[in-house]
């Protein structure tokens, strides 16, 4: 069962059916800043603004969404700067690219194993805890696995509430 809470922050709480375990995924901005500092990544004003946005909007935004959301508060920010910074984050190992469908590239600040749930109505992509790697992949012997993804699709609780017919 999925419960989505939206009280100022975007995060997901998953209750396992036996209600044994509740996990909150919430990337920690301060810790990530420390990691970048340790890796000698220059922390410019724009870079930090993009990072904060990614930490506070964990629904896997596209570069365009990041740009248009930040444009008002950061009028000197260009699309190129957004792309350059996202690439810097990827190279530093704190961000990863995900492509779910239609070749739409999204950015994920959570680089640990987890699954994704894409809402068909609002298009948001939510995280849920999932350990990738325990699957039986014997049938793939001889294949070189480069990436593993777990995607669910459906309708999120927020959209179901708006239209209970769904």
Is residue 111 part of the contact set for Zn ion (CB under 5 A)? no
CB atoms within 10 A of CB 90: 14
Q: Contact region for Zn ion (CB under 5 A) — 23-31, 63-71, 75-83, 120-128?
A: 120-128
Strands 125-128 and 2-5: unpaired
Nearer to Zn ion, 6 or 122 (CB): 122
Residues 59-78 that bind Zn ion (CB under 5 A): none
107 touches 61 (CB < 8 A): yes
Interface with Zn ion includes 23 (CB under 5 A)? no
Residues 121-140 that bind Zn ion (CB under 5 A): 121-122, 127
Radius of gyration for the chain, computed over Cα atoms and rounded to the nearest angstrom = 17
Residue 65 φ then ψ, to 5°: -65, -40
159 binds Zn ion (CB under 5 A): yes
Torsion angle of C-alpha atoms 109, 104, 113, 24, degrees rounded to 10: 60
150 binds Zn ion (CB under 5 A): no
Site for Zn ion in 26-45 (CB under 5 A): none
Residues that bind Zn ion (CB under 5 A): 108, 110, 119, 121-122, 127, 156, 159
């Amino acid at each position: 069962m999925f419960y989505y809470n939206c009280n100022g922050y975007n995060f997901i709480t998953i209750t396992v059916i036996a209600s044994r375990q509740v996990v909150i995924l919430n990337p920690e901005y301060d810790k990530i800043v420390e990691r970048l500092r340790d890796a000698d990544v220059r922390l410019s004003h724009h870079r930090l603004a993009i990072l904060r946005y990614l930490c506070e909007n964990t629904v896997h935004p596209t570069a365009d969404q990041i740009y248009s959301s930040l444009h008002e508060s950061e009028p000197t920010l260009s699309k190129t700067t957004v792309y350059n910074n996202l690439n810097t984050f990827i190279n530093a190992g704190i961000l990863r690219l995900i492509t779910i469908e239609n070749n739409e590239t999204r950015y994920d600040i959570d680089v640990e194993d987890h699954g994704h749930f894409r809402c068909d109505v609002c298009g948001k992509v939510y995280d849920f805890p999932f350990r990738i790697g325990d699957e039986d992949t014997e049938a793939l012997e001889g294949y070189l696995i480069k990436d593993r993804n777990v995607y669910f699709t459906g309708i999120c609780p927020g959209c179901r509430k708006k239209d209970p017919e769904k």
